[in-house]
Structure 1
């Protein structure tokens, strides 16, 4: 059926081209094979025929422009759909290992400390609910995103059997919007490559500032023995960089720096 439709379209296109070329072929024939030194295009035709042919060419040009525009729109839509599909895939890859690790911790905690296990389950439930339902949205309030990060902090403080110094400062515009689940990757890295490499004196410092023009997210953590190259180019950061390219093209800046044993990341987003 598709092959038959393709052949029909091809036949119609060929017919249109042939009809369009007839006057040009006749004129070329007169120039080449007659003694006339010059030939006026459509000069030997009846005026009505001339008007009809010219009208046909104008119509053909209009159809061509319409077809070309339609193809451009189709290509743009295809790219947009491809980008959306890629974004959905990237979102689905955000922090699943964190949830699995937390569930494994809960398994051992249930028998030892039921009350703490229940608190962990509630926190984990809140985070999973946000990831599933709010994470599907194209945009959320920055305040909602910050609450999600705070839940992450609280959950980790309950998980670890060591003191972690956490500084969390947020000075934001309450009307500020952001794409969900961007900052969590940086926060996860601060624990994976920072807190988890230290037995004591671990700290994580987060500073979020926003106004009507931009969002500035800064995170610092100290570290022990850690693969800093992996911290800069791991799967999570590749995911984040790709999402930023798709959502904030030329509207973001992601920078990394290391001073002694302190790792610092800053992400600046221009408002959409």
Structure 2
């Protein structure tokens, strides 16, 4: 069952450009062992053991690494963020957006987007845990946070969708919280409003909502209209493509001034 699910996920077009990990060859191993750096050689045996355990078809080895906390799975919050990212991209693909470029999540690409998509002349960028330098340069609270040595990485939304067009870039951020707790949802709304205020200079030309808060559940069943600066949706809504109308509106705004699609998303309980 697990193998079938893994095969299905690996077959996703979003991963088509990502090379599969390769097993170390004997020559690779010898090169590692002959390293002139003593501190590096000391780590070689542990790294090779981890490598062999992960690539071997041996559930006992995998349980050992997990049990000894040598290799840990991602935290639930992080997994939910990644799920929301891929759910958004998949829902855009269902509306004929095509992935034109992608990079490895967590790679050393700075503020580069994780995905670039195209549909006709329209282009989108979807970034994960990254924002353009222009956001930081135009930050309202830049000087205050610099005074206390708080870096830009401490204040970036989970996902940033950018529509590119002749009128310039239009942005919408997505903050993802794995919660159904009403109090924490309220706190997260204020965090989203903080992003709106901090990055107002970069978001000012974008249609409302400029921000979306995604929660697991706990939000009442109602319609969220685009006159509000922040929309709140659940996992079920993003899974069913509920963010697509807002992204479409963003794309339209980058081509035609003052035109809105009147997007309305139906929220699930």
Which band: TM-score by shorter chain? under 0.3
- Larger helix proportion of the pair: 1
In our comparison, the structure showing a higher alpha carbon Rg is 1
TM-score between both structures, scaled by the size of structure 1: 0.23
TM-score between both structures, scaled by the size of structure 2: 0.23
User: Which has the higher relative contact order, 1 or 2, with Cα contacts under 8 A spaced 6 or more apart?
Assistant: 2
